[in-house]
Amino acid sequence: MKISLQKSLGILFILGAAASFAAMNLFVNMAGDLPLMQKVFFRNALTVVVVFFALLFQKEKFRVYDKRNFLWFFLRSAIGFLGVVLNFYAIDNLASISDASILNKLSPFFAILFSVFLLREKPSIPELIFVLVAFAGAMCVVNPHFDLSVLPALSGFLSGACAGFAYTCVRILAVKGERGIMTVFLFALFSTVVSLPFFIAFYEPMTLMQLMWLLLAGVAATCGQFFITAAYRHAPAKEIAVFDYAQVLFAAILGFFVLAQVPTILSIVGYVVILGAAFGRWGYEMRRSARRRLLTKTDASRQKSSGESG
């Protein structure tokens, strides 16, 4: 019962994260025609402030356990920042915010590929098939053609690649014992510091409504970070990560009712293919975990029987 409750809480938290990031995409779009880095700055600045005060009340505060891990903190922050920039460009220029969401959600499939090089993990044949299927779905959304109009979709696709690399770095830092809240703080701090000079140099005056939308984007992004951190504290990522794809549904609903955005038929086909790959991979992981537990239980029973016989 305890395990079931923890998993249920994990699912609720990750749905909260999905809703928060979908809302962030909406608010970024509604801020209108403002410089990209101006939007990126507001997305991260509020997170820095909130997490800074949260760390002040923790016993270990701003401690990093091993200075050798700063390379991984830097890679997570730099590539993650690039992913945010690419994602925001896609949000501003694609036909619908749900297109930007689904392309960014290719990150788990990219993470499989990056884990081969960074973690020396060997993916199984089914995992590679799911990756190929997901990328085929992405091509439906991108709808590649040889002119500059493909740039926003390509940007969304590359934002998923950056996010996949960044999440692999997060896994490495977790394995090395670093706190998740410090990873979030350093990423947000890096993004704020790097975007600040561009924010100042290319600043454009904002209306009160534009300022409100950007502040709401920052609030939504901060809530999303805390929700997803809480989710993975309550349940393993492999069991609940698939529910993060609800962001695509939330984004589609918000885009339709608030922005009157309707995805193309080809985009919807891409959504179905990518979501199918995500749920297929999740089901495969669940079955594999169940087999492992059964084998462990069987081995334990055999050892016990062997001990009693002796």
Mean pLDDT per 10-residue run, the chain (310 residues)?
Answer: 69 92 96 96 94 93 92 96 96 93 91 86 89 93 80 95 91 89 94 97 96 96 88 75 88 94 93 93 86 77 63
User: What is the count of structural domains for the chain?
Assistant: 1
The reply to whether the predicted model has a pTM over 0.85 is yes
* Residue 73: Cβ within 10 Å count: 20
Q: Which amino acid does the sequence have at 210?
A: Q
Between CA 55 and CA 180 the distance in angstroms is 11
Domain that holds residue 80: 2-309
119 DSSP assignment: S
**Which secondary structure element, helix H or strand E, spans residue 29, and what is its range?**
helix 2-30
The owner of tokens 């600040």 is 196
Q: Given this model, what pLDDT does residue 2 score?
A: 46
* Residue 179: Cβ within 10 Å count: 17
